Structure 1
């Protein structure tokens, strides 16, 4: 049951349920953490690179589904009081009250781990929980806490449908690529080449889209390089041209000039030998790196 003060304000939502008999010969109460009726329910956070669907569980922590651009979804159950050791646990699902009463379903077993994110379920587990919730089922996480209490944490299906629909819409609008696909890009050139290929331009468009979506990107670093097949002055000049052309294209795509750091080093810092065609081809390059805050 929930406890309220004289003003009717919510104080705690620990429900003390049936008394269980423990092996040690005395009784221990089961502690039940749940989101009470009338409290704020599921919330959605929407962004081009991240979608989240979360539920705050009073006196326990927060449960949330999360998916980043170009990555699979996952589920996290985070408790305010981190556990200090590994605890065996189960996921048990209860049928909706409007369906014929059936025994609870054991969905799986897992380990509550020490640290901030005690429960972490990857794609299959997260999708399974989302499906149960969308059908009105109530997932419950049960384990024996370090204090000895039998603990149950419930995810309420009440008010889940509308936030879930918005969450699905968000996932449908995620960027089709993530940070790892644009974190570092390397463009290569033919001998004396300086122009961008169609493939290079497409990657620069991806970079611009990602930078516009991720406020954590503080700088786009562009560095031009050359091979050693020529005079040092020429190699320095062509490495500058390569870097400047990349800069110009990013500016055309709307990247602020102050967000760009553009340098060139000529034939310095080769990544391959300059006495072979393949080595020189590898050294003729521009490297674009996204730097986070």
Structure 2
């Protein structure tokens, strides 16, 4: 494979040292892009790809590298908020290790690591990734520069302020609870449904909602089955009143058959009195599963 001039120069000059990827200071650029679902703040890195801060709706930012040529093999990398060369007294801040899996996007940092890298950039520090493969290959260093960062960060924060409160992974399986023996939505349930409705209006690709009504085991089986039906109907009516087409809603009810936890205390029974909502982006098969999915949260 033909090596780029930058890499060839590094290998010939000092084979024992790290291969370093860094854009020349006068060519440093930051790019901000995004929508209601995700905001991205990135810096192109000459000969490598880019370094990116990515913030999804409902989450804090993560930091990652993207390299079409897949420079980072499987292994581990250490993240630093590095001091500027003209400020050696400050020292580099070690932010810990990330596991590198290879591929075009070899790792995602933690939210805490990304937050400290962003804070470091505001202080004039450089995000630095130092990597070595599992087989002891050439050490590689990737460095972003803080030049022209302040304005880009303002634009990134403006983008983040417009993000939805949740993302699809956070709401695709949700549940609302009900007080004992009740079938009326309380304030907490309506607030949760309002967040889901906000997401549905922003993402028209969600074209099916499955509602599963449940009860605890306090009453007889027939009463519990009717309670679970009426609870599912209450959620369905609220969704329809707020613009969700009836044709997109599938309603099921199960009484006490599928408890989340054993009905052995008042707190446990409260968890079992619920309606589970499952959002789907593709047309589902006509045959529904007998047992409803357990919600993620």
TM-aligned CA distance change 1:216 to 1:170, over 3 Å: same
CA distance in 1, matches of 2:183, 2:61: 41
In structure 2, C-alpha distance between the alignment counterparts of 1:150 and 1:215, rounded to whole Å:
46
What are the equivalent positions in structure 2 for 1:254-265 lying under 5 Å apart?
254-265=243-254
Answering whether residue 159 of structure 2 is matched by residue 170 of structure 1, we say: yes
Determine the structure 2 residue equivalent to 1:106: 92
Tell me the distance in 2 between the aligned counterparts of 1:277 and 1:148. 59
Q: d(CA) in 2 for partners of 1:279 and 1:127? A: 38
Distance 1:235 1:119 in 2: 48
The alignment status of 1:223 with 2:212, answered yes or no, reads: yes
Cα distance between partner residues in 1 of 2:157 and 2:7? 31
Q: Using structure 2 for the length normalisation, give the TM-score.
A: 0.69
Q: From the superposition, tell whether residues 114 and 275 of structure 1 become closer, same or farther in structure 2 (CA, over 3 Å).
A: closer
* Superposition deviation, residue 18 in structure 1: 9.3
SS state at 1:242 partner: helix
Classify the secondary structure of the residue corresponding to 1:121: coil
Residues 103-137 of structure 1, C-alpha deviations (whole Å, 9 max, x = no match) = 38322264562334545432343223223333444
Mapped to 2, the partners of 1:226 and 1:248 lie a distance apart of 19
Residue 125 (1) aligns with residue 110 (2): no
- Please name the residue that 2:54 is paired with: 66
Cα distance, 1:12–1:169 mapped onto 2, change above 3 Å: farther
1:275: how far off?
10
Q: How many residues align?
A: 273
Give me the whole-angstrom Cα distance separating, in 2, the residues matched to 1:247 and 1:110: 47
Please give the secondary structure, in 1, of the residue aligned with 2:195.
helix
Post-superposition Cα deviations, 1:240-292, rounded to whole Å, max 9, x if no partner, equal 33222211111222234343222224554456778998887665542223346
1:208 maps onto 2:197 in alignment: yes
Q: How big is the shift at 1:202?
A: 1.5
Q: CA deviation at 1:88?
A: 5.7
Q: In the alignment, is the contact (CA less than 8 A) between 1:73 and 1:126 conserved in 2?
A: yes
Distance change in 2, residues 1:236/1:31 (3 Å) = closer
> Post-superposition shift, 1:201?
1.3
Separation (CA, whole Å) in 2 of partners of 1:206 and 1:243: 18
Structure 1's unaligned 5+ residue stretches are 1-10, 22-26
Report matched runs for 1:70-85 at 5 Å.
70-79=58-67, 80-81=69-70, 83-85=72-74
Query: What RMSD, in angstroms, separates the aligned Cα atoms of the two structures?
Result: 4.1
**2:188 paired residue number:** 199
Write the distance in 2 (CA, Å) between the matches of 1:289 and 1:189: 21
Distance change >3 Å, CA 136–CA 258, structure 1 → 2? farther
Which residue is equivalent to 1:3?
none
Once the two structures are overlaid, the 10-residue window that deviates more, 52-61 or 135-144, is: 135-144
Q: Residue 45 of structure 1: which of 15, 26, 33 is its match?
A: 33
Query: Which secondary structure does the structure 2 equivalent of 1:221 belong to?
Result: strand
Structure with the higher fraction of residues in strand conformation? 1
- Would you say 1:183 and 2:183 are equivalent positions? no
Match of 2:9 in 1: 16
* Shift in Å, 1:204: 1.1
CA displacement at 1:87 relative to structure 2: 4.7
Distance 2:226 2:107 in 1: 55
User: Cα offset for 1:149?
Assistant: 4.1
**Higher mean Cα deviation, 45-54 or 273-282?**
273-282
Partner of residue 244, structure 1: 233
The SS at the match of 2:92 is strand
How far is 1:12 from its partner? 6.7
